[in-house]
Amino acid sequence: MKKTRVGIEGGAGFAGGELIRLLLGHPRVEIAAATSRTFPGQPVFLAHPNLRGRTDLAFTRKLDYKRLDCLFLAGSHGDAMGNVPAILAEAGPRLRIIDLSGDFRLRDAAQYPRWYTREHKAPGLLKKFAYGLVELNRAEIAKARWVANPGCFATATALALGPLAKGGARGVAAVTAVTGSSGSGASPSAITHHPTRHDNLRAYKPFAHQHAPEVEQILERLAGGRTLELSLIPVSGPFVRGIYAVCQVELPKGWTEKKVQDLYRDVYKDSAFVRLVPEPPSLNAVNGSNHCDVFVAVSQGRIGVISAIDNLVKGASGQAVQNLNVMMGWDETEGLGHAGHYP
Amino acid sequence: MKKTRVGIEGGAGFAGGELIRLLLGHPRVEIAAATSRTFPGQPVFLAHPNLRGRTDLAFTRKLDYKRLDCLFLAGSHGDAMGNVPAILAEAGPRLRIIDLSGDFRLRDAAQYPRWYTREHKAPGLLKKFAYGLVELNRAEIAKARWVANPGCFATATALALGPLAKGGARGVAAVTAVTGSSGSGASPSAITHHPTRHDNLRAYKPFAHQHAPEVEQILERLAGGRTLELSLIPVSGPFVRGIYAVCQVELPKGWTEKKVQDLYRDVYKDSAFVRLVPEPPSLNAVNGSNHCDVFVAVSQGRIGVISAIDNLVKGASGQAVQNLNVMMGWDETEGLGHAGHYP
Amino acid sequence: MKKTRVGIEGGAGFAGGELIRLLLGHPRVEIAAATSRTFPGQPVFLAHPNLRGRTDLAFTRKLDYKRLDCLFLAGSHGDAMGNVPAILAEAGPRLRIIDLSGDFRLRDAAQYPRWYTREHKAPGLLKKFAYGLVELNRAEIAKARWVANPGCFATATALALGPLAKGGARGVAAVTAVTGSSGSGASPSAITHHPTRHDNLRAYKPFAHQHAPEVEQILERLAGGRTLELSLIPVSGPFVRGIYAVCQVELPKGWTEKKVQDLYRDVYKDSAFVRLVPEPPSLNAVNGSNHCDVFVAVSQGRIGVISAIDNLVKGASGQAVQNLNVMMGWDETEGLGHAGHYP
Amino acid sequence: MKKTRVGIEGGAGFAGGELIRLLLGHPRVEIAAATSRTFPGQPVFLAHPNLRGRTDLAFTRKLDYKRLDCLFLAGSHGDAMGNVPAILAEAGPRLRIIDLSGDFRLRDAAQYPRWYTREHKAPGLLKKFAYGLVELNRAEIAKARWVANPGCFATATALALGPLAKGGARGVAAVTAVTGSSGSGASPSAITHHPTRHDNLRAYKPFAHQHAPEVEQILERLAGGRTLELSLIPVSGPFVRGIYAVCQVELPKGWTEKKVQDLYRDVYKDSAFVRLVPEPPSLNAVNGSNHCDVFVAVSQGRIGVISAIDNLVKGASGQAVQNLNVMMGWDETEGLGHAGHYP
């Protein structure tokens, strides 16, 4: 079997490290090269000490796009929109691209200044990227060459709310979602300073997080129109991995608990990575794996949906590999079948 | 100055330990005795090693209620309702009581079987206990002899929502509240097992936590009728101290952000322990102290209110001391003026 | 390829869960059954929620030993010594056994009352078990049918000190080793109570831990006599996984730093799981994997050796699988080649 | 009572914050001013959110040294040695100074290039600073005007080993000491990046930490000569506060356990902050307080001593206040009598 050659732009970040870890175990893939501005020429294990002895790969400064079958972009937000046109010019449009940044998630270029504080640099490409949330958009991804990998908050929240949107629920979804510190990346900053992050919870960007519009976009598509509005308060949590999203929606008139539960079973019946669980989920049951655990409760006219993912796997690199699998027509779980570590 | 003699029933638990710590620093109080079923006759510092060298007090098996001015009940839920009638029979009705359990928080005895899975054993006493959330019920506490100290989730949630209820907001308050493990007490159990509690988040009792009705009860009193409904999903967090409550309410028609902010300023203008903060609060800014930090945001027709407390201080023992201060007519901050530890 | 049929006694504990996780990914192994006294008849994922969707296996009450090729004993200390004679009587001596408890680690039955507070029940079997620390005892394991899997502290400490012992170093090795809470097992207890374990360090059993004699036993064998004495102070740490062993030994007269480093390179040159690292190791670089990272420093007449392992993998279940591989003549890394998760 | 006017240079760091917290509760002290380069003109609570509502103090850019009775230097290492000569020139030699940096801890200027990688700028002042470890140097501090506050590792280690040195023990003390992240200060850096600090242990500067020589210096003075050599391996731990020092020394010939225990009782009999504990200490029993818990075990010819402190209190700011108390002739525990928080 000839292996698919993949390249990784931005391989020294946390998402890059998880991509390399997962792809090293993928039977159909060969990592051609991974770049790093910080570690060019140095072994990958300097940035990712878990990979010492697992790979001799060294970071390069540049990729030879023409020799790649698929390119993962795991750099900073704002890089991809600037680089993709030149990359495609060099490699030709046949190159598959999976972008882990936010640069190609929103269809409407006009939203970028508001949510990402910058004008979009390649607005013409926006509609050509499929939104890579496999469980809610599998068919489009299967036909795509270019995929925008969802944000971590967006993944947890959209998987929690998608079936309700599809079923036609209306109104406001009030969501509190707590994130681990790895979502802030590999560079130290005030919000990841251990003495003040540890033992702390701190909300930020209330009603203003940039992952909100991509959730509303996919919910709108599922609903066939704007029906469910997202009201999101993100919280920084004192752990490394995970997104834990707690969602509340008013039970639509005439709906029963059975109808709600059936919606979820129906939407996720062919999705190996979404596990509908009978008790509220635990982060440590999904961490290290590509699973999203989803719990649904209905009581006194309210629907509560709680979802849990590993932000670096299902919320980033695992989902990127899942998108590759779907694009290539492989089994969706290829290279992702391992369980997470527990406890 | 003759000191007020206090006794503590259940002094070996976490709330008991914090009570002893705080009362040892209270200039107007003398701890007459503290009981423990586990450590009778043994020094207090066996249960609370931070108090070694700070006090020579030993736990007793029983209290001499007649010689006390005030009794703190810090035992298990269900104990107080069984014991208070006999205690009062022995000590006479002049004994002040501050009950830290849930036994006297709800006015309506009929609610106990539902929320606490037991019939109330002293329903005639329920209406004689003041609800001890000072900032929202100061006048009643000042006249009371017996006080029901609020639950930790209830404290954080009621302080977050009280001004809205008082201002007449209507509808559902969707609340996610995350608690530290010390709220589960000093006895090991599955939910406080370190290997599975650490690095985890896990919701529990969605829409069914026993602190919800006491919040609705105080909100109803503030509103003069049932206007704001509480929809609470509690979450177990991977830290020891703190309640972090994230609340969302629909902005009432015609209200402005200024009106909302003014409500909070007005309700808390004389409350030293509630700090209105201009950014979302941090748990580690309140831990160790009796403060409740409250942040209010208004955006796109939504109100977000986030509150943070130390569950063992403002959510239990510090609030109990605050109640004593108010009942006795002392300065409300007596013995509670210290700052928390940070970071 | 006909798969090797393995059974697991005590499958609901943490070591049992890791065994199942690892064996599910082992290409040459089939899990015939796993027992649990707590969850008989129930799905494995009730005890190990990470395995939901990964296996449909349910726990049984008993194993059919005759139908197994290899038996892993992952129950409590003291169980194996009582059960193995009957198991062998039922299955015949051809059954391979890997015992994860301490019951067959010490050659001398007389040591059991001292270190394990009980008489040994099957002293005649002690010398028939190979000590399963592959990197230091590979040849014996390759010929064994029964293996005593080392303790977690013992694994980290023996791998840190083995080359010195083999090289003939003498004197006292002063070791501080810090353990994660998962080493205390799946049942809640005072030492794993989250409120007091979190943010804490606490030494225990100074100079008296039961893993010390097994380390001295293997060091003695490597040295060909009693030369290096172990002086171990274990510490409970505020994390879930890992053993971090910090060892100090006096530099023998006439030795150079180069001689010391060469000893380590020589002993571990064919051991894929031991990584000699040029900086002090990090727990999070080995967690989730079967690696042991070892760092050696020589300065001012002192040797410092620091080792790090995942206590549940290299310190328990991964090592058990490694022992199976060696016994079966398979590649030692079969089923263990994955990297750990980082960060 | 006229209050003693103190100033704080470097008030926005963690040690500065603890100084302010403690001094606000000190009955004999008034904080005249505190400087910050980052927050000049801004309220203290911006840097230390626990102090919101506790003080209206704002940071200044400069201090008026002439109007101070005592100056605390809580800036970076290297600042004090440069600034003290000019400060004294301005204020006159009557100004008391307590320097929390390492700049005046070593008597011998020749050691600075080796341990602090810089030449000392004011070598003539070195012998005029008393080493501020009260329990081992009380008499000298009582007569001093200028005090060098010990390092956090040095405090825990010297208190653990001091009695042995005084008793004449010889040989090497093998020490592993684990520190919380707050010891690295308030500025983010790679070693305090939450994703990689959390759940990790990592040794650093083995045998080469700059706190080692100050310990050897005080031990030498207690022993009346160089008898006990320190061999220290520091470790970064996954918690915020605390130093946990595990020390091993060979039991001198002819010594009994009783002799060892008597040495400790004798040395610390008048020291309220050192608590000799009968079981290995816990960090969470000292955190928040100025206590040092010390445990001593003797077994099989080895002495094990384990000490625990809060690095920001007894290891920095609490000790600085204790030094002020001793210098001023006040009760040593003034302003420091509170218990820590537990759990």
Query: Which residue type occupies C256?
Result: T
Q: Which residues of D are catalytic?
A: 152
**pLDDT digits over A185-210, tens only?**
999 999 999 999 999 999 999 999 99
Q: Residue B182 and residue C195: Cβ atoms within 8 Å?
A: yes
Hey, which chains touch A, using 3+ CB pairs under 8 Å? B, C, D
Q: How far is residue A29's CA from residue A335's CA, in Å, rounded to a whole number?
A: 9
Q: What is chain B's alpha carbon radius of gyration, rounded to the nearest angstrom?
A: 19
Q: Residue B342 and residue D50: Cβ atoms within 8 Å?
A: yes
Residues of C at the A interface, defined by Cβ within 8 angstroms: 14, 17, 21, 24-25, 48-54, 182, 199, 240-241, 272, 275, 277, 282, 284-289, 291, 293, 337-343
Q: Residue B194 and residue C181: Cβ atoms within 8 Å?
A: yes
H or E segment at A98?
strand A96-99
pLDDT of residue D90: 97
Residue of B nearest to D49 (CA): B285
Residues of chain A in contact with residue C195, where contact means CB-CB under 8 angstroms, are: none
Residues of B at the A interface, defined by Cβ within 8 angstroms: 172, 174, 176, 178, 195-196, 198-204, 206-208, 231, 233, 235, 237-242, 244, 246, 248, 250, 280-284, 287, 295, 297, 299-300, 302, 304, 306, 308, 343
Rounded to the nearest integer, the mean pLDDT of chain A is 97
Closest CA to B48 of D342, C191, D275: D342
Quote the minimal CA–CA distance from A191 to chain D in Å. Answer: 9
Say which CATH architecture domain B4-128 belongs to.
Answer: 3-Layer(aba) Sandwich (3.40)
> Given the DSSP bridges, would you call strands A292-299 and A96-99 parallel, antiparallel or unpaired?
unpaired
Quote the minimal CA–CA distance from A141 to chain C in Å. Answer: 24
**pLDDT digits over D280-324, tens only?**
999 999 999 999 999 999 999 999 999 999 999 999 999 999 999
Q: Residue D194 and residue A197: Cβ atoms within 8 Å?
A: yes
Size of interface A-D (CB pairs under 8 A): 56
Residue of B nearest to C196 (CA): B240
pLDDT of residue D187: 97
Quote the minimal CA–CA distance from C13 to chain B in Å. Answer: 12
Q: Which CATH number fits domain B153-310: 3.30.360.10, 3.40.10.10, 3.30.930.10, 3.10.580.10?
A: 3.30.360.10
SS3 at position C186: coil
Which of C186, C192, C238 lies closest to B188 in CB terms? Answer: C192
- CA of B109: how far to CAs of B104, B105, B229, in Å? 9, 10, 20
H or E segment at B72?
strand B70-73
Q: Residue D54 and residue B339: Cβ atoms within 8 Å?
A: yes
Q: How many CB atoms lie within 10 A of CB B30?
A: 13
Which class for B337: exposed (0-12), middle (13-18), buried (19 or more C-beta within 10 A)? middle
Rounded to the nearest integer, the mean pLDDT of chain B is 97
Structure tokens at D69: 């009775």
Vertex A236: Cα angle to A230 and A240 (nearest 5): 120
pLDDT of residue A124: 97
Structure tokens at D260: 């060892």
Q: Residue B49 and residue D21: Cβ atoms within 8 Å?
A: no
Phi, psi at C100, each rounded to 5°: -85, -5
Q: How far is residue A91's CA from residue A69's CA, in Å, rounded to a whole number?
A: 10
Quote the minimal CA–CA distance from D188 to chain A in Å. Answer: 5
Size of interface B-C (CB pairs under 8 A): 56
Structure tokens at B314: 């403002």
ipTM of predicted assembly, 2 dp:
0.97
pLDDT of residue A1: 74
Q: Residue C188 and residue B186: Cβ atoms within 8 Å?
A: no
**pLDDT digits over B273-306, tens only?**
999 999 999 999 999 999 999 999 999 999 999 9
Closest CA to A332 of A343, A340, A341, A321: A321
Which of A195, A238, A240 lies closest to D192 in CB terms? Answer: A195
Residue of A nearest to B284 (CA): A200
pLDDT of residue B1: 75
H or E segment at A82?
helix A79-91
pLDDT of residue A89: 97
Q: Quick check: bond before C343 cis, omega within 30?
A: yes
H or E segment at D9?
strand D4-9
> Given the DSSP bridges, would you call strands A292-299 and A302-309 parallel, antiparallel or unpaired?
antiparallel
Q: Residue C275 and residue A52: Cβ atoms within 8 Å?
A: yes
Q: How far is residue B178's CA from residue A182's CA, in Å, rounded to a whole number?
A: 20
pLDDT of residue C337: 93
Q: How far is residue D216's CA from residue D213's CA, in Å, rounded to a whole number?
A: 5
Q: How far is residue C79's CA from residue C67's CA, in Å, rounded to a whole number?
A: 21
Whether residue A152 lies in the annotated active site: yes
Question: Which residues of chain C register pLDDT less than 70?
Answer: none
**Domain C153-311 superfamily per CATH:** Dihydrodipicolinate Reductase; domain 2 (3.30.360.10)
pLDDT of residue D3: 97
Q: Residue C339 and residue A287: Cβ atoms within 8 Å?
A: no
Single out the catalytic residue among A70, A152, A247, A292: A152
Phi, psi at A179, each rounded to 5°: -120, 150
Which of A201, A207, A281 lies closest to B237 in CB terms? Answer: A201
Quote the minimal CA–CA distance from A51 to chain B in Å. Answer: 23
Quote the minimal CA–CA distance from B184 to chain C in Å. Answer: 9
Q: Residue A194 and residue D193: Cβ atoms within 8 Å?
A: yes
Structure tokens at B116: 């606490």
Structure tokens at D191: 């070693």
Percentages helix, strand, coil for chain D (3-state, rounded to 5) are 35, 25, 40
Closest CA to A208 of A180, A169, A234, A245: A234
Which class for A1: exposed (0-12), middle (13-18), buried (19 or more C-beta within 10 A)? exposed
**Sign of the alpha-carbon dihedral angle for C111, C115, C120, C124:** negative
Which of A182, A272, A282 lies closest to C343 in CB terms? Answer: A182
Quote the minimal CA–CA distance from B128 to chain D in Å. Answer: 33
Q: How far is residue D280's CA from residue D260's CA, in Å, rounded to a whole number?
A: 16
Say which residue the tokens 């709800």 belong to.
B106
- Is D190:D250 a contact under the CB 8 Å cutoff? no
pLDDT of residue A341: 92
Question: Which residues of chain A register pLDDT less than 70?
Answer: none
Per-position b or e across D210-233, b if 16+ CB within 10 A of its CB: bbbbbbbbbbebbbeeebbbbbbb
Percentages helix, strand, coil for chain C (3-state, rounded to 5) are 35, 25, 40
Is pLDDT of B108 > 90?
A: yes
Residues of chain C in contact with residue B180, where contact means CB-CB under 8 angstroms, are: 195
Q: Which residues of B are catalytic?
A: 152
Q: How far is residue B176's CA from residue A304's CA, in Å, rounded to a whole number?
A: 11
Residue of C nearest to B48 (CA): C196
Residue boundaries of the structural domains of chain B: 4-128, 153-310
Q: How far is residue D153's CA from residue D311's CA, in Å, rounded to a whole number?
A: 8
Residues of chain A in contact with residue D14, where contact means CB-CB under 8 angstroms, are: 195
Q: Residue A198 and residue D194: Cβ atoms within 8 Å?
A: yes
Which class for A22: exposed (0-12), middle (13-18), buried (19 or more C-beta within 10 A)? buried
Q: Residue C283 and residue D202: Cβ atoms within 8 Å?
A: yes
pLDDT of residue A165: 98
Residue of A nearest to C55 (CA): A339
**pLDDT digits over C258-310, tens only?**
999 999 999 999 999 999 999 999 999 999 999 999 999 999 999 999 999 99
Q: Which residues of C are catalytic?
A: 152
Q: How far is residue D174's CA from residue C251's CA, in Å, rounded to a whole number?
A: 13
Residues of chain B in contact with residue A295, where contact means CB-CB under 8 angstroms, are: 203
Q: How far is residue B80's CA from residue B86's CA, in Å, rounded to a whole number?
A: 10
Closest CA to C183 of C205, C162, C161: C205
Q: Residue D54 and residue B21: Cβ atoms within 8 Å?
A: no
Residues of A at the B interface, defined by Cβ within 8 angstroms: 172, 174, 176, 178, 195-196, 198-204, 206-208, 231, 233, 235, 237-242, 244, 246, 248, 250, 280-284, 287, 295, 297, 299-300, 302, 304, 306, 308, 343
SS3 at position C230: strand
- Is B229:B266 a contact under the CB 8 Å cutoff? no
pLDDT of residue C1: 75
**Sign of the alpha-carbon dihedral angle for A315, A47, C309, C267:** positive
Quote the minimal CA–CA distance from D327 to chain B in Å. Answer: 23
**pLDDT digits over B65-94, tens only?**
999 999 999 999 899 999 999 999 999 999
pLDDT of residue D1: 75
The conformation of residue C67, written as its DSSP 8-state character, comes to: G
Q: Residue A343 and residue C14: Cβ atoms within 8 Å?
A: yes
Question: Which residues of chain D register pLDDT less than 70?
Answer: none
